[in-house]
Amino acid sequence: MKAHFIFHKYAHAYKVEIPNLEELSVEQIKEIQNFVSFRNGIFDFNNYSFKIQKTLEYEAFVSLIEKLGFDCKCEERKRVYKEIPRIGFGQYKGMYISDLPDSYLMWLKNNYHGEQKELFLKEISKRNST
């Protein structure tokens, strides 16, 4: 069985969903885990995905996967940015709130008390539920 990778690009990271994770062999899953671990990423078994805090284009991801010899099918899902709010201050000013790193969102939750706080809390809640 081939792994099915669905690539999502974010401003400072990329996420890959593996919808057929349950159908893969233990050896295939270990290989994917090693790939993620080597890149200091996070493998999320609950959501059948992994996320790596590094900017990478889809073509570069596919090339990397091919060089490593993964037997998989890859596809890209482009995000549609419509009414998604942006952060209005700090080091990530202008960035979509949905693209903020988890660590920064947690810092904002504990330290920010301005008008965008509710947006940050909603984003944290959304990520925790998926």
Instruction: Say if residue 129 is in the same domain as residue 107.
Output: yes
Instruction: Say if residue 18 is in the same domain as residue 58.
Output: yes
| pLDDT class of 29 with cuts at 50, 70, 90 | very high
pLDDT of residue 82: 57
Instruction: Say if residue 114 is in the same domain as residue 96.
Output: yes
**Environment class of 130 (CB within 10 Å of its CB; exposed 0-12, middle 13-18, buried 19+):** exposed
| pLDDT class of 6 with cuts at 50, 70, 90 | very high
| pLDDT class of 130 with cuts at 50, 70, 90 | low
Instruction: Say if residue 87 is in the same domain as residue 71.
Output: no
Instruction: Say if residue 51 is in the same domain as residue 107.
Output: no
pLDDT of residue 1: 87
Q: Are 32 and 50 in contact (CB under 8 A)?
A: yes
Kindly report the pTM of this predicted structure: 0.62
In DSSP notation, 5-48 reads EEEEE-SS-EEEE-TTGGGS-HHHHHHHHHHHHHTT-EEETTTT
For residues 93 and 27, give the distance between their C-alpha atoms in angstroms, rounded to a whole number.
42
Instruction: Say if residue 33 is in the same domain as residue 88.
Output: no
Instruction: Say if residue 20 is in the same domain as residue 70.
Output: yes
Mean pLDDT (whole number) for 15-20: 95
More confident: 5 or 53: 5
Domain containing 112 equals 82-130
Q: Are 12 and 101 in contact (CB under 8 A)?
A: yes
Q: Is the pLDDT score of 71 beyond 90?
A: no
Average pLDDT, the chain: 90
Neighbour count for residue 41 (Cβ, 10 Å)? 19
Phi/psi of residue 37, nearest 5 degrees: -60, -45
Domain endpoint, select from 52, 76, 100: 76
